[in-house]
Structure 1
Amino acid sequence: MPPLSKKKHPAKRSSRGKPMAPQSTQPKIDAVHVSLEQRIGDVIKRRRQAANLTLAEVSAGSDISSAMLSRIENGMATASLDSLERLCHALGIGLADLFQETDQKGGVAQLIKKDEQMEVVRVGTKHGHTYRLLSYDRGPRKIFEPFFVEMDRKSQSWPRFSHPGVEFIYMLQGRIEYRFGDKTYILEPGDAFTFSGNVVHGPERMLDERAKFLAIIVYGDGA
């Protein structure tokens, strides 16, 4: 797959004619961290409710006060290893099971507002097609790339693509004939099309004045 590049735009200037500092277009990525106490408390509460046990019943079975148990379940108190072992016994689970269920990594969330989405240059750009990259993968290797693609009848020629992984297309507007290897398929709004990226593929012809679709390339182990 050819490398992506940003479209260049003229620098904005202030009312005095001086160049303004460029605004960051980096997506907002927030780490979602849940403390160990909260994760342990969530598991204990979930297990207690699944067993239809009340706070009082687990309290009696573990020799831990109901007030302290409530604080542990809500992540407001740190339980000792001995207390956790007694709680697990009262719940009928092993200590290893408790820690296995709490062994969850913190995740990340990425929000890219409409005006922050980056228009990129691909093979089809010179044919009048527009590609907006909807997510920026910051890892050492690309896992996937989602694009919003627009094209119209003004295009006189159509690009061909070939890349690692699998591609998924979801039609939003218009109809196109799409080539995959030696076959073509008619894609209409609402259609979903999945295919191997290493086989030569691309739009064959427009059947309506304009077409819009989502194209998601999944690289698997990374590209």
Structure 2
Amino acid sequence: MQQEPQPEAVNSGQLVYHKIGGLIRRYRKDKGLKLLDLSGITGIKSAMLSKIENGRMLPTIPTLFTIIQKLGIKPETFFAELSAENHFPGFLLLRKGQYASYVKEEGAIGFEYQSILEHTFESGAFQLSLLTLRPGAQRPAVTTAAYEIVYVLRGHLQYQLEDRLFELTEGDTLFFDGNIPHMPVHTENTTVQLLVMYIFAEISR
């Protein structure tokens, strides 16, 4: 009889959160499964699975173990791909060449993400990414189970939060609840760069 995987099998070090969704997506496709198929065998709604795969929700440990078990992945194999060095010497020097490129929404056009820094803490986690928007960049509005901070490094654009539209230019910062449907609106023939921080934690309102 197959033994149920236990949460204690999770590596005690830091996990590279921007990889979780992509790994699940890759294993799911390797099995020839669609999101609805995975939803059917896990009992997890396809909308939630989509947000997890797109890095817009961090799954709970029980949810994550359910997914990898139903996909037939050994926990040690899965978490070995997510483990990061947990030693902190008191400072971090992050070279541009060390940033890790990753994909969020597969259907997005002109969106290029690079993970700069990720860290867990007692009540949650954060991820800092560099987002480059190429001319013609577009995607539908999305929601994220996190708070977001957007800082404009280069260029100008509009940022839509539900039915509100904000004009943003270099040096501007926008902080918002990611559960509000949102998307950058970039219609000019220029390249825009943003720093985006995702805070997966409860914040006092």
With normalisation by structure 2, the TM-score equals 0.52
Determine if the alignment matches structure 1 residue 218 to structure 2 residue 199. Answer: yes
Report what 1:134 is aligned to.
Answer: 116
User: How far is 1:219 from its partner?
Assistant: 1.7
Report the structure, 1 or 2, having the larger strand content. 2
Determine if the alignment matches structure 1 residue 176 to structure 2 residue 157. Answer: yes
* Distance change in 2, residues 1:141/1:123 (3 Å): farther
Report what 1:30 is aligned to.
Answer: 88
Measured in 2, the distance between the counterparts of 1:124 and 1:167 equals: 20
User: How far is 1:141 from its partner?
Assistant: 7.2
User: Unmatched 5+ residue regions in structure 1?
Assistant: 9-24, 33-108
* Distance change in 2, residues 1:124/1:187 (3 Å): farther
Whether contact under 8 Å (2:112, 2:131) holds in the other structure is: yes
User: How many residues of Structure 1 are paired with residues of Structure 2 in the alignment?
Assistant: 128
Report what 1:120 is aligned to.
Answer: 102
Report what 1:5 is aligned to.
Answer: 22
Larger Rg, first or second structure (1 or 2): 1
With normalisation by structure 1, the TM-score equals 0.48
Measured in 1, the distance between the counterparts of 2:123 and 2:21 equals: 14
| Match of residue 168, structure 2, among 187, 192, 196 | 187
Superposed, 1:12-161 pairs within 5 Å as 29-32=87-90, 109-123=91-105, 126-137=108-119, 142-155=124-137, 157-161=138-142
Report what 2:148 is aligned to.
Answer: 167
* Distance change in 2, residues 1:203/1:130 (3 Å): same
Report what 2:184 is aligned to.
Answer: 203
* Distance change in 2, residues 1:152/1:177 (3 Å): same
SS at 1:135 equivalent: strand
User: Unmatched 5+ residue regions in structure 2?
Assistant: 1-16, 27-82
Measured in 1, the distance between the counterparts of 2:121 and 2:106 equals: 26
Measured in 2, the distance between the counterparts of 1:128 and 1:219 equals: 25
* Distance change in 2, residues 1:171/1:154 (3 Å): same
Measured in 1, the distance between the counterparts of 2:124 and 2:197 equals: 12
